[in-house]
Structure 1
Amino acid sequence: MKKLFSMFLFVIAFTVITAGCSRAGSNESASNETKNDGKVNLSLFLTLGNEGEKKAIEGLVEKFEEENPTIDIQVNLPGAGYEDMLRVKMAANDMPDLFDTHGWSQLRYGEYVADQKDMDWVQHLDPALDQILKDKDGKVYAFPINQAKDGISYNVNILEKYGIKAPKTLDEFMTALETVKEKSKGEVTPLWIPGGENGNIAQIFDELATPLLITDEENSYGDQLLDGSFDWSKYTPLPEKIKEMQEKGLINEDVLTAKPQQATELMAQDKIAFTFVAGSLGPDATELNPEVKVGTMPVPAIHEGDKQSWIGGERYTIALWKDTKHPEEAKAFIEFMAQPENVEIMAKATSAPDPLTNVDAENYFSEFYKEYEDIKVEPYFDRVYLPSGMWAVMSTTGQELLSGALTPEQLSKKMGEEYTRLRSQ
């Protein structure tokens, strides 16, 4: 009897598990199908990270579904697992109906996306994004939720206190760092780097490589970087300058262990003057201390006579899978997201500039974006000029430089070796 009862429990358990797996499987495969209730089900994968961003997109999806009751949007925000998930989907040619290209609309995802050039929103695209989201044939690869303008964040009150103007050149930046160290008597970190996550070190090298090697006419090596003939000794001045900052005590002593999460509290306590940390640093620090004001500025020029640059272009986007079974419904959602009031919602939630000319969204850094509105946005250096895999090399070599394991010359040599190896793969 006990044996029969055990078998009965096993059958019930197996039935429940099988039913549960069946439901999960149907949800997973429903991304390109029509539900039994007659609704079109679309999958939306995005890299939005913080809670404010997530709340904003979820609210807009809910609004869209209310206005379009025959369409159901499945929002997926996998965070750090996003890239791995999308690589698997690319390999299987089973992409989400709508997805974020997060800076790789052409180089990584280009063959998977449908052209959006005939959509209404394109006529309002900020020209600064043309070289990022359009190719020479006019194909438009993705709708930008916002646009990236990366540079350097700074504590406005500290600069005012010490009589420092936002520096325009690297020499001025070095002088500003030295002034902060001297006048604060070491109480304020001139340049704070959260190198405990070494990608933040790579971010600095990536941003500064553009003014060193691209934007100045007499020191522009874009063609050589693209054809593989670049002399990597010309990269050495960048690690030399970073090492100089460290040796002069202009960088936080805990650079190799500091975490990005510390930036908000340190900025709120007026312990940081400059940092390459961006995103929600400003509003988050001001929420902790309403007296604090965080500014943002373009990357300083390195060569005499050159101009500053914003680095970025594409940040969060919505691309349309070329093989979606419901292109019209997917396009309807993109056009909905492109409505001025919705663009403004996302610009505020992400503390980033809006991407369209028919929108003038205000966010935490708006006054600074307007101050530097004539500064050109240059694309991320690694996304244009380096082979896939070089971001990891910049991360590790930068960390080794700051730990003393590599000299600036050795760093450049290693960068060149890895650049050659990865180009050949």
Structure 2
Amino acid sequence: MKKKFVPLVVSAALSIFLAVTGCSSSGDQKTNGKSEDGTKKLTVYSTIGEQAEKDAFTQIVKEFEKENPNIKVEVQFPGNEYENILKVKMAANDLPDVFDTHGWAQIRYGKYVADLKDEPWASKLTDTMKPVLTDKQGKVYALPLNEAKDGITYNADVLKKYGIEPPQTFDQLMAAAEKIKKESNGEVSPFFFSGIDTGTIGQFFDQFATPLLISPKENYADALLNNTMDWSKWTYLPEKFAEMNKKGLINQDALTARPTDRPQLFAQNKIAFSVGGPGFVQEAKKINPNVNAGYMPVPAIVPGDEPSFSGGERHTMAAWKDSKNLAEAKKLITFFAKPENLKKMAEATKLPAGIKDIKPDLAELTQYYEKYANIRVFSYFDRVYLPNGMWDVMCTKGQELLAGSITPNDYTEAMKKEVNRLRSQQQK
């Protein structure tokens, strides 16, 4: 099944790559990145997905173009296909002039990006972002537009209505979900996932893998890194996910639900919990300004452990080192690094800034970031403990589990098999 799946993904990615880029790539090479009227053209790719985030990003781009009329910026938001498109572009060594490294600045994109250590903002990386975006030689790989601190976004009005305090453990989270479903007569979905945006499904497994396998005092961090992992320990997560689905704790249309459904349902108080960051909240407030969002760390799973956040890169801007317009690419990144622009991006994404001395107004979410300021933040599970390529596996296998086409044990076996296969490939 996997052998058939991979070519389809690559083929689809190639088709989308061609559709998105058209003939511009070869044209840019022939004209040295200039259009017919002599203006420089920059291509920018970002993983930004929520509309409010896109609006803020494109507004900053327009302001840059006004100040630099000789530079035109073409922005692409490929959504779910971002990673596949970038893989094709890496293979062709024809990357965008500026692109989002989405958590893989050093490991995946390190050899493709220019060193930004001499840029005026480079010395101001926050203490948590500095080790993520710099190496021992001092190279700075990208500008962080914000700083990921992923937990669980919840509807504070829903929890208040049903007398629920933010859960501290996974068992408490499940009990809260069942209480909400029962007392709302099924009108409120405890959890929201989108089969159209499988990243919402992968997020569940990636975030809860940390309290299951990494954050407890006795953990499997070394076993995962040394490839001696007993993968039966993983089965807890697909079992719980399947249980959530069977009990009706997940939206019934999860396989066909669109990511744009989430802010709509949240605004209507029909969603209680969303695994991941609060980027969609701003869009929900456009629909219902009175909806109140809360934010909490990921509950503990192992007795004696404490809640935690998953963190690292969220949205970044890196410059392709072989860009014909590298100077202009760096100029755009420096423009985004202006305090007012970083503040705007942090506020749009509802996340803290990744550069020091930026004080975004995160509205009601500010109180939660302050409340949980001292909670432990672990790097994203897949970025540290899994080989490159496993994110897609977690997403697709979670989707198949939701569809009932595989069992929790099948999911675990797929994890073990794909980890070994990808590690073997990447060691050659």
SS at match of 1:378: strand
1:284-363 counterparts in 2 under 5 A?
284-363=283-362
Residues of 2 paired with 1:403 and 1:330: CA distance?
43
Residues of 2 paired with 1:63 and 1:107: CA distance?
32
Contact 1:132 1:379 in 2 (8 A): no
- Post-superposition shift, 1:394? 1.7
Alpha-carbon spacing, 1:75–1:106, altered in 2? closer, same or farther (3 Å): same
Residues of 2 paired with 1:172 and 1:338: CA distance?
41
Residues of 2 paired with 1:280 and 1:217: CA distance?
31
Q: Please, which moves more after superposition, 90-99 or 42-51?
A: 42-51
- Post-superposition shift, 1:48? 3.0
- Post-superposition shift, 1:94? 3.0
Q: Cα deviations across residues 244-277 of structure 1 (Å, max 9, x unaligned)? A: 3334443333333433232222222222211226
**Alignment gaps of 5+ in structure 2:** 1-22
- Post-superposition shift, 1:39? 5.2
Q: Please, which moves more after superposition, 376-385 or 100-109?
A: 376-385
- Post-superposition shift, 1:225? 1.7
SS at match of 2:73: strand
The answer to whether 1:272 aligns with 2:268 is no
| 1:138 counterpart letter in structure 2 | G
1:27-106 counterparts in 2 under 5 A?
28-29=28-29, 33=33, 40-68=40-68, 71-80=70-79, 81-106=81-106
| 2:228 counterpart letter in structure 1 | S
- Post-superposition shift, 1:26? 8.0
Residues of 2 paired with 1:397 and 1:185: CA distance?
30
- Post-superposition shift, 1:209? 0.7
Q: Cα deviations across residues 265-302 of structure 1 (Å, max 9, x unaligned)? A: 22222222112264543122222223321222221122
- Post-superposition shift, 1:137? 3.5
Alpha-carbon spacing, 1:78–1:30, altered in 2? closer, same or farther (3 Å): farther
Alpha-carbon spacing, 1:118–1:305, altered in 2? closer, same or farther (3 Å): farther
Residues of 2 paired with 1:26 and 1:196: CA distance?
32
Contact 2:103 2:314 in 1 (8 A): yes
- Post-superposition shift, 1:316? 1.5
Alpha-carbon spacing, 1:327–1:228, altered in 2? closer, same or farther (3 Å): same
1:247-286 counterparts in 2 under 5 A?
247-276=246-275, 278-286=277-285
- Post-superposition shift, 1:344? 1.0
- Post-superposition shift, 1:140? 1.8
Name the structure 2 match of 1:211. 211
Contact 2:203 2:276 in 1 (8 A): no
Contact 1:128 1:376 in 2 (8 A): no
SS at match of 1:354: coil
Q: Cα deviations across residues 215-244 of structure 1 (Å, max 9, x unaligned)? A: 22212x223222321110111222222233
- TM-score, normalised with respect to structure 2: 0.84
Residues of 1 paired with 2:401 and 2:38: CA distance?
59
Aligned residues: 402
Residues of 2 paired with 1:192 and 1:39: CA distance?
45
Q: Cα deviations across residues 132-158 of structure 1 (Å, max 9, x unaligned)? A: 212344322111112222221211011
Residues of 2 paired with 1:26 and 1:402: CA distance?
42
The answer to whether 1:229 aligns with 2:215 is no
Residues of 2 paired with 1:123 and 1:371: CA distance?
28
Residues of 2 paired with 1:90 and 1:321: CA distance?
10
| 2:170 counterpart letter in structure 1 | L
Contact 1:235 1:412 in 2 (8 A): yes
| 2:71 counterpart letter in structure 1 | D
SS at match of 1:217: coil
Name the structure 1 match of 2:5. none
Contact 2:224 2:385 in 1 (8 A): yes
Name the structure 2 match of 1:120. 120
Residues of 2 paired with 1:198 and 1:63: CA distance?
34
- Post-superposition shift, 1:196? 5.1
Alpha-carbon spacing, 1:382–1:322, altered in 2? closer, same or farther (3 Å): same
SS at match of 2:140: coil
- Post-superposition shift, 1:327? 4.2
| 1:130 counterpart letter in structure 2 | K
Residues of 2 paired with 1:344 and 1:234: CA distance?
41
Name the structure 1 match of 2:370. 370
- Post-superposition shift, 1:38? 6.4
Q: Please, which moves more after superposition, 230-239 or 389-398?
A: 389-398
Q: Cα deviations across residues 149-183 of structure 1 (Å, max 9, x unaligned)? A: 22212110111122211112212212222322333
Contact 1:343 1:359 in 2 (8 A): yes
Residues of 2 paired with 1:393 and 1:25: CA distance?
30
| 1:167 counterpart letter in structure 2 | P
SS at match of 1:173: helix
Alpha-carbon spacing, 1:329–1:228, altered in 2? closer, same or farther (3 Å): same
Contact 1:32 1:41 in 2 (8 A): no
Kindly name which structure, 1 or 2, has the bigger radius of gyration based on alpha carbons.
1
Alpha-carbon spacing, 1:402–1:358, altered in 2? closer, same or farther (3 Å): same
Alpha-carbon spacing, 1:199–1:86, altered in 2? closer, same or farther (3 Å): closer
Residues of 2 paired with 1:145 and 1:281: CA distance?
17
Contact 2:267 2:285 in 1 (8 A): yes
| 2:372 counterpart letter in structure 1 | Y
Contact 2:180 2:190 in 1 (8 A): yes
Q: How many percent identity over aligned positions? A: 49
The answer to whether 1:422 aligns with 2:422 is yes
